[in-house]
């Protein structure tokens, strides 16, 4: 496993646009993407929809709070009870 750290030109002043760009770049480079939680109809859920459109594996916790991510096709083989 490798970890890559990416930052915009000036990491002291991230914007919504540069953060979204960074997230897309990192997700594009990743073999699979883990999202712990995405609020229904929120920015993170929209980002997960993009990832699902790319047909990239999306992984989340097996929890009722992540039902929308499961509906997108996210793998839910992680159980929160085993972590807490």
Tell me what pLDDT residue 35 has: 93
Segment (H or E) for 59:
strand 58-62
Residue 66: CB atoms within 10 Å: 21
Counts of helices then strands in the chain (DSSP H, E): 4, 3
What residue segments make up the domains of the chain, in order of their start?
32-83
What is the model's pTM?
A: 0.76
For the segment 12-60, what is each residue's pLDDT rounded down to a tens digit? 778 888 888 889 998 999 999 999 999 999 999 999 999 999 999 999 9
Q: Does residue 10 surpass a pLDDT of 70?
A: no
Radius of gyration (C-alpha) of the chain in whole angstroms: 14
């Amino acid at each position: 496993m490798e970890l890559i750290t990416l930052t915009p030109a000036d990491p002291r002043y991230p914007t919504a646009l540069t953060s979204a760009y960074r997230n897309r770049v990192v997700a594009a480079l990743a073999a699979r993407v883990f999202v712990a939680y995405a609020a229904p109809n929120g920015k993170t859920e929209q980002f997960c929809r993009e990832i699902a459109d790319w047909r990239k594996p999306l992984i989340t916790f097996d929890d009722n709070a992540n039902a929308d991510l499961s509906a997108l096709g996210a793998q839910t083989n992680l159980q929160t009870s085993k972590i807490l």
